[in-house]
Structure 1
Amino acid sequence: MIHCLQTATLINGIPKAIHAGGTVTRCSNPLLCLFACLCLLLASLAVPPSARAEVPDPAALRRMADQMTDTGILPDQIPSLSRPSYMPVPDAALSMDDEEQVFVARFPGAIRIYPQRIMVYHEVVNEEFDGMPYSITYSPLTGGLVGYHGKAGRFDTSFGVSGSLLNANTVLFDRATGSLWPQLLGMSIKGPLLGAKLQRFPLIWTTWERAARTYPDAMVLSRSTGFNRRYGTDPYGSYSNPNSYYHFQQITYPVMNRDNRLPPKERIAALEQDGQYYALPYTAVRREGAVDFTLGITPMVAIWDRKLATVRVFERVAAEKTIEFFMENDKLLDKGTRSEWSHDGEALFGILRGATLTPVASMDCMWFAWSAFFPDVQILPRQ
């Protein structure tokens, strides 16, 4: 079944085996063609109605697929990890530098820390908690960090690295159908699940010293992956080195759109909802402390988390009210009650004590990649 879904080719919705010269011809193997048709029908049904309703022009997605860059790397030559080994924070600290970049994921009943120097060699970690699949994805060339629920259409699945790029961004494939998904886009641009969308979950980008202090009981991705890699080094340089790829402003691979409103590799928190796309530069959110905005119909706030030195985004609705935030004396307060809030989105003191905000799955990435996908992206806070 999976083989059929991956290899069947369509022309105007008709399997290629029964399409020739614009007319339908008799198939040389009717049983094979019938089987292919049934597979394609099942694949289309695998896309939930809600996802199909949001599908953009399929021709636009196919044009995206046509612009993918073939790097010469084959699928799985960059090997994803599935349910790998972890170690406690004290053990991991023996091989970690304080300023080493790490990614933090909160799962049901568990917190996991993923060192960037391991992720750069694998790009995807597939996990499962309480029977639910999750994928932690990282695209080194675009600094893209995105968490996805492991469900493609109606299939529970894991993801691998295809070896292709779009806007220099890693293109993933799901192992259920072989459909292709640019990591930042989170939408299939080729394959049986064309136009289907993935559901994100929040990840936190910070440093080892900050993560270990904040989450001392977390478990850390082990270097014992079963692969022979130089996990102590990064082939692209270092985020702490201003002369590395991560700071050098040249764009290495073709992009569909260039936008000079920000430096190409400016680090942003990227958001998309209801057909609107926003970019929140880390430098601006840090300067403001808190930025209120509305994405689609959802009021949100971006907060500079001083403890983790990162941007956190929440829906700013609590106690059935829309909250407006501001910073005063390094404290996060709401304008209505002046209750004090933590950077985890919880009211610590005041009338709203105990109220919590819902986290939003923003994405870390470089400006050039997000604006290449979405030329009409809005930058916040507005200047």
Structure 2
Amino acid sequence: MTNDQQERIERSDGRDGEGRVGKQPRAVVARRMWGVVEILLFALIVAVAWQIYSSIAVWNDDPKRNTAFLINGNEQARNSRIANIPFDLSHVTVPANEIRDGGPGKDGIPALSDPNFLEAADAYYLQGEDRVIGFVSGDEARAYPLKILMYHEIVNDRIGDVPLAVTYCPLCDSAMVFDRRTPLGERAFGVSGLLYNSNVLMYDRSDMAESLWSQLQTKGISGPASKLTLKTLPLELTTWQDWRSRHPMTKVLSTDGRYYGRDPYAGYYDRPQLMFPVQPMSDKLPTKARVLGVWTANTSRAYPESIFSKERTRIEEQIDGKKIVINFDPQSRSLRVVQADEGVQWLYSLWFAWYAFHPETSVVE
């Protein structure tokens, strides 16, 4: 072995020409030290995250512990922050002390307005299994991917003469589309940063008092909009592959160059714990079971995804004397209302959220 060859061996692995461990190069030592630091930092982050999660998970464990948790100061802190928010709560229709500070603050989750759309073939950021809210108006179909909506929660859009708000609350996995025309005029909505029953409260950007509106209650709960009802519009919650196969000319919400690759709610749907208190609760179904919630002026009914299968792909029945037909696609595991009489409305959500707003609901088995 030449001297040059021996020197290269010593530089590459820290051993001398006879296999003995020699002095480690500085770069190797530095990398190893940095690796130890990274491990320690990761362990610290995990410990802090677990501490936060443990505090949050207390909400769903036991009502007595929940009450103690509130009395010990956290509720007072929330109330003091709510007292200073720029929303009119003078005519609030829900218990004010049950309105929660969700954390990000007003517009901390930025609603989209005047959104841009792509042709289906250009939506390279989507995979076939990605879930989308699908909406059709006249001859135009549009898809709103949840991987974008979980970062914005509201899209103020317009198709022809119809101004619409496409809404999604990740905490409830609840999807709804509203007509933005109200008795107060056409409205535009933002994300208030507040929650009621763990569900997003939208605020009215068109109103000087900035009324609050509940997504799952489909009503205004404060300010000039108090007790006013939003008109819901038919929607689907399915996969991109399924939607595109049935609507090949669909437009799809553009990312506009933003990065939406990371799911900030990863793991949340696999655990029964909630991040915020909800009342009332029911153990009729698993807390986070996916349901299609259907209601009329007098009746509400839940259709759990779990009752459908390859053998049971269609339900046709009457609700409050009105006909509804629901199809199940086993491949996309999605429920679709294919026929509904006037006066039948529906939404998609997790069981706990549907029950909290519709405790009188029946459940289809």
- Residue 215 (str. 1) matches residue 247 (str. 2): yes
More strand, by proportion: 1
Between structure 1 and structure 2, the one with the greater Rg is 2
CA–CA separation in structure 1 for the residues paired with 2:253 and 2:87: 35
Amino acid of the residue matched to residue 78 of structure 1?
I
- Say what the alpha-carbon RMSD is for the aligned residues: 2.3
CA–CA separation in structure 2 for the residues paired with 1:115 and 1:199: 22
Deviation at 1:180, TM superposition (A): 1.1
- Residue 150 (str. 1) matches residue 174 (str. 2): no
- Residue 310 (str. 1) matches residue 334 (str. 2): yes
- Give the SS at the match of 2:263: coil
Percent of aligned positions that are identical: 30
Asked if the contact 2:199/2:353 (under 8 Å) is kept, the reply is yes
Deviation at 1:7, TM superposition (A): 7.0
Relative to 1, partners in 2 of residues 1:201 and 1:85: Cα closer, same or farther, differing over 3 Å? same
Tell me the equivalent position of 2:265: 236
Amino acid of the residue matched to residue 346 of structure 2?
S
Gaps in structure 1 of 5+ consecutive residues:
1-5, 11-57, 238-243, 318-357
Asked if the contact 1:285/1:303 (under 8 Å) is kept, the reply is no
CA–CA separation in structure 2 for the residues paired with 1:259 and 1:166: 17
Relative to 1, partners in 2 of residues 1:221 and 1:315: Cα closer, same or farther, differing over 3 Å? closer
Tell me the equivalent position of 1:199: 231
Q: 1:97 aligns with which of 122, 127, 137?
A: 127
CA–CA separation in structure 1 for the residues paired with 2:287 and 2:89: 37
Q: 1:275 aligns with which of 290, 298, 303?
A: 298
Asked if the contact 1:268/1:367 (under 8 Å) is kept, the reply is yes
Q: 2:143 aligns with which of 93, 113, 116?
A: 113
CA deviations on 1:232-253 (whole Å, 9 max, x unpaired) are 121111xxxxxx1122111111
Asked if the contact 2:296/2:345 (under 8 Å) is kept, the reply is no
CA deviations on 1:134-182 (whole Å, 9 max, x unpaired) are 0100000100000100123241111111111111111111222322112
Tell me the equivalent position of 2:31: none
Deviation at 1:359, TM superposition (A): 10
The TM-score normalised by the length of structure 2 is 0.70
Tell me the equivalent position of 1:264: 287
Tell me the equivalent position of 1:168: 198
Tell me the equivalent position of 1:72: 103
- Give the SS at the match of 1:74: coil
Deviation at 1:62, TM superposition (A): 3.2
Asked if the contact 2:133/2:235 (under 8 Å) is kept, the reply is yes
Tell me the equivalent position of 1:51: none
Deviation at 1:291, TM superposition (A): 2.2
Relative to 1, partners in 2 of residues 1:316 and 1:77: Cα closer, same or farther, differing over 3 Å? closer
- Residue 81 (str. 1) matches residue 112 (str. 2): yes
Number of equivalent positions: 277
- Give the SS at the match of 1:288: coil
Relative to 1, partners in 2 of residues 1:275 and 1:73: Cα closer, same or farther, differing over 3 Å? farther
Gaps in structure 2 of 5+ consecutive residues:
1-85
Amino acid of the residue matched to residue 369 of structure 1?
A
